[in-house]
Amino acid sequence: MEEDVWKKAKSNAANAMRNSDWVQWIHEGTGFATTQAERDLRIVWEALSGKKHCAVCMNLSGCCFPRNNMPEYPLHPNCHCKTEPIGAITATARCRESKVKGWIFNPSVPNGKKELFYEWGYSIIDKDWLISEYIRQGKEKYERGDFTLHKLNEYGQQINIIIELPRKDRIGTVTFTSGWMVYPNGVIELVTGFGRR
Ligand SMILES: [Zn+2]
């Protein structure tokens, strides 16, 4: 047990060192799109400009990544973006209640997700705790650079973060993938609460 804690601390420290080398993606002249609605506007803007402005780049603007775990740079020929070194980041993880309440535990959605959570001993009464866990683990792991890059498109960069939960029905834990959208200045927002195991 004690050895495990030590091993974990050591690997956390190693990650922290490796991931103090963060950069911020900057597309000059457009400002940061901090909401989905603002991102949609950038997509319209790309169309109106005759594709002169790239929505992918505009919507990446302001987003932060460890240098060793970032979208390919430059993204395309004549890309006007730059990456600015920012050291380490302080992250903010956002999780809307509807993601857990209306989705994982939605009785009318036969997605097999709630059955899994029920099997592990969770139900809707655990929703606040689950939300706080998503936020805690999402923030910690993103700050450590402990994520994998997922889909990148005109809506932004998605990343996957492994969530680990204690089982409530018996001893042990379950782990599964969660999907997050990266927003400017260290913000991530949960988009998929439960992916594959
Ligand atoms: Zn660009």
Mean pLDDT of 170-188: 96
Mean pLDDT for the chain? 88
Identify the domain boundary among 87, 122, 140: 87
Q: Any idea how long the chain is?
A: 197
Digit-coded pLDDT (tens) for 5-63: 667 666 666 655 556 899 999 998 888 999 999 999 999 988 888 878 889 999 999 99
The DSSP annotation for 67-91 comes to: TTSS--SS-STT--EEEEEEES---
In this predicted structure, the answer to whether residue 133 has a pLDDT above a threshold of 80 is yes
Q: Are residues 102 and 179 in the same domain?
A: yes
| Distance (Å) from CA 193 to ligand 1 centroid | 30
d(CA 16, CA 178): 21
36: its two tokens: 């989905």
Higher per-residue confidence, 123 vs 6? 123
Digit-coded pLDDT (tens) for 54-104: 899 999 999 999 999 999 999 988 888 999 999 999 999 999 988 887 777
Q: Are residues 136 and 45 in the same domain?
A: no
Supply the range of the domain harboring residue 44: 2-87
Our CA dihedral for 119, 121, 126, 129, rounded to 10 degrees, sits at -100
| Distance (Å) from CA 135 to ligand 1 centroid | 30
**Confidence category of residue 162, pLDDT binned at 50, 70, 90:** very high
pLDDT of residue 93: 98
Identify the domain boundary among 38, 65, 87: 87
118: its two tokens: 């029920």
pTM: 0.86
| Distance (Å) from CA 185 to ligand 1 centroid | 18
74: its two tokens: 């430059």
| Distance (Å) from CA 53 to ligand 1 centroid | 8
Q: Report CA-CA distances (Å) from 42 to 24, 32, 36, 39, 180.
A: 19, 10, 10, 5, 20
Q: Are residues 185 and 167 in the same domain?
A: yes
In this predicted structure, the answer to whether residue 1 has a pLDDT above a threshold of 60 is no
Q: Are residues 101 and 40 in the same domain?
A: no
